[in-house]
Chains A and B, each alone.
Chain A
Amino acid sequence: GENVEQHPSTLSVQEGDSAVIKCTYSDSASNYFPWYKQELGKGPQLIIDIRSNVGEKKDQRIAVTLNKTAKHFSLHITETQPEDSAVYFCAARKAGTALIFGKGTTLSVSS
C-alpha cells in the first residue's frame, strides 16, 4: 500500500520567514495530494491540494509543488505569521482508496 514520509517533524521559524515541508510517497499510481492543517484540540482541515496533472498550485501565501518523477511534493508558506503555528499533514491517495497521511510537521512561528 501507499506510504507517505514527511519531513521535518518540527520546524521553527521567525515571523515573516518562509517555511517548507516536504513529503515523499511510494505508490506511483497516487494522483491526489492534499495538505491539512491541525490546530490544537481540533481536527485537521484542508488548506490546499494538488492533482497529478498539475506541477504547482498557489493560494495567497501558501503553495504546493509536485514532482511526479521523484514522487515528492512540498508545501511552501511565505511571510509566516503566528497564526500559521499548527501541525501540518501531507497525504496521498490513488483512485478507489482512502487518504494516507504523513506523520505531521509541527510548525512554530515566533514573533
Chain B
Amino acid sequence: DAGVIQSPRHEVTEMGQEVTLRCKPISGHNSLFWYRQTMMRGLELLIYFNNNVPIDDSGMPEDRFSAKMPNASFSTLKIQPSEPRDSAVYFCASTGGRYLVKGELFFGEGSRLTVL
C-alpha cells in the first residue's frame, strides 16, 4: 500500500500568497485528519472529516484557513492569505474502520511550509 500521500513536501512562499496543501488518504479509509506541528505547540488538530464530511473544524486557526474533501481519495488545506506565523509542518492522516474512533492513525510524511 502506498500510504498517505502529501504534496508538496516543501513549500516556501511569501506573505500574502495563497498556499494549497494536498492529501491522498489510504484507499478504503473513511476518516481524514489535518494536523499542524510546531515546536511551541506540538501536534495540533486542525480539522477532521468522516466519509468526506467535516466533523470538527474547531482547530482551524481563523478564516484564512479552509479545508475540503471533495471525494474519498483527496483533500486540500488552503491558507489565504498566508502569514509568517503559519510556518509549520502540516500532516495529513487517515484511518479506516466502520466507526470514527477505531483504528490506528496513519500519517503522511508532512508538508513543510515556510512563509517569508
B72 at interface by CB-CB < 8 Å: no
Stretch of A43-51, A52-60, A68-76, A77-85 that contacts chain B: A43-51
Chain B residues near A96 (CB, 8 Å)?
Answer: 100-101
Chain B residues near A1 (CB, 8 Å)?
Answer: 58
Contact of A43 with B43 in the complex, beta carbons under 8 Å:
no
| Chain B: minimal CB distance from A75 (Å) | 16
B56 at interface by CB-CB < 8 Å: yes
Contact of A97 with B101 in the complex, beta carbons under 8 Å:
yes
- Proximity string of chain A (65-109) to chain B, C-beta cutoff 8 Å, 1 when within and 0 when not: 000000000000000000000000100011111111111100000
| Chain B interface size, under 10 / 10 to 19 / 20 to 34 / 35 or more | 20 to 34
Highest count of chain B CB atoms <10 Å: which of A6, A98, A102: A98
B residues 26-49 in Cβ contact with A at 8 Å:
33, 35, 41-45, 48
Contact of A43 with B56 in the complex, beta carbons under 8 Å:
no
- State the majority secondary structure of interface residues on B: strand
Quick one: closest A residue to B108, CB to CB? A43
Contact of A43 with B42 in the complex, beta carbons under 8 Å:
no
Contact of B109 with A42 in the complex, beta carbons under 8 Å:
yes
| Chain B: minimal CB distance from A39 (Å) | 11
Contact of B107 with A44 in the complex, beta carbons under 8 Å:
yes
| Chain A interface size, under 10 / 10 to 19 / 20 to 34 / 35 or more | 20 to 34
- Proximity string of chain B (85-116) to chain A, C-beta cutoff 8 Å, 1 when within and 0 when not: 00000010100000011001101111000000
B4 at interface by CB-CB < 8 Å: yes
Contact of B43 with A44 in the complex, beta carbons under 8 Å:
yes
Contact of A46 with B105 in the complex, beta carbons under 8 Å:
yes
Apart from A95-B101, A103-B42, what are 20 other A-B pairs with CB-CB below 8 Å?
A6-B42, A32-B101, A42-B109, A43-B93, A43-B109, A43-B110, A46-B104, A49-B104, A89-B42, A93-B101, A94-B101, A97-B101, A98-B33, A98-B48, A99-B33, A99-B105, A101-B35, A101-B42, A101-B44, A104-B42
Binding site for A on B (CB under 8 A): 4, 33, 35, 41-45, 48, 55-56, 58, 91, 93, 100-101, 104-105, 107-110
